[in-house]
Structure 1
Amino acid sequence: MTEVQVRGLTKRYGDRTAVDALSFDVPAGAVTGFLGPNGAGKTTTLRMLVGLARPTAGAALIDGRRYAQLPNPRRTVGALLEANGFHPGRRGRDHLRILADEANLAEARVEGVLDEVGLTAAAGQKIRTYSLGMRQRLGLAGALLGDPGLLVLDEPANGLDPAGMAWLRALLRRRAAEGRTVLVASHVLAEVAQTADQIVIVHNGQLRHAGPVEPDLERTFLAVTGAGHAG
């Protein structure tokens, strides 16, 4: 079981503070929704968690370790922070084969995750032909390659149609039911309300609320952020 502990996490860019002494926990066996208005610091927090940005202060820990200290990162953490980091001339299957090779994962996992995300039929196509929704699925396939205990996803529903969103919801709920940990940043409050067990709400880089999903998530979100909209 994999857990996340964020402790006093801070990130400054010059005189701008993107994340300000942020502390919260992400439990195993649950889907945690990570919410906040645009510019609240969500993506910066996730980038620090998976080692793509260095904290100014504090720490984001995965089972008590920084990402760089994990012995087999892809077997512990699967991350999808943006769905555009692909070589457009590469085929979907080949993209995943390269990731599997880099992480010393069995090539059989490639076919397994292609099937899991519904891309088997399109795996031989070049990524430049993929829709945004298909790129999201390919990114999810990459995140799932190592069969990780922790999934870290930033706006994974972007580009998905209603059927795709229902599929994603089932995938995340299934991972949590298996005792794994899921942390999802999203601005789609209705989807989070249907999917998440726990929520963490940030605003101006600071923690504003953490706890179980409440019946009226939008009301809670607006109350703690003072935002005029849920975007």
Structure 2
Amino acid sequence: MRGCLITLEGGEGAGKSTVLNALSEHIEAAGIKLLVTREPGGTALGEAIRSVVLDGGIDQVCAESELLLMFAARAQLVRERIVPALSENTWVLSDRFTDASFAYQGGGRGQPEERIADLERWAAQGIRPDLTLLLDVPVAVGLARAQIRGEPDRIEREQAGFFDRVRSTYRERAKSEPSRFRIIDSSLDVGSVTASACAAVSEFIATRRNSA
């Protein structure tokens, strides 16, 4: 099978890290060569940008700068890691991708959707996920979970209204592309969430193998 790009999306406290680890083991157990990465990050440049955007203690980052920084990290990740992996029939599992920009910088910050779509075509070379798992959780539940993790980063310090818009945008995108998205109820216990995610990926793998 050719390489496929699977992405995990969701708001704060959705449990992406836990699901990512479970999916990584699940996919590799199916005999598939896998690259696991994250956004922003995944490369030396991407991790440096991550420290600025999330953890740098810089409060005055305008919406346009944040959007461009996210796509700068994404452009490097696409060219340095994702494209080479896919070309070698390696699958890629990423904690966030371009849908996150539509949700956070678009829905959350108010950046125009067409502007983000232009950047997707240019900076991300038009690469889109083959499968996206949206870990959907009510904002209040997600934020309560995120608070337990420790000191919030720059984006986690936003108000609930910001995250309401993020969640709404994610759900709208999932509704508009039902063949790509699988919505996972992430308000459930960890075992149920990971089981649902693994089941969705198993179905996707089976479909790919049957069509190969």
TM bucket normalised to smaller: 0.3 to 0.5
Task: Kindly indicate which of the two structures has a greater share of residues assigned to strand.
Answer: 1
TM-score by length of 1: 0.36
Task: Kindly indicate which of the two structures has a greater share of residues assigned to helix.
Answer: 2
TM-score by length of 2: 0.39
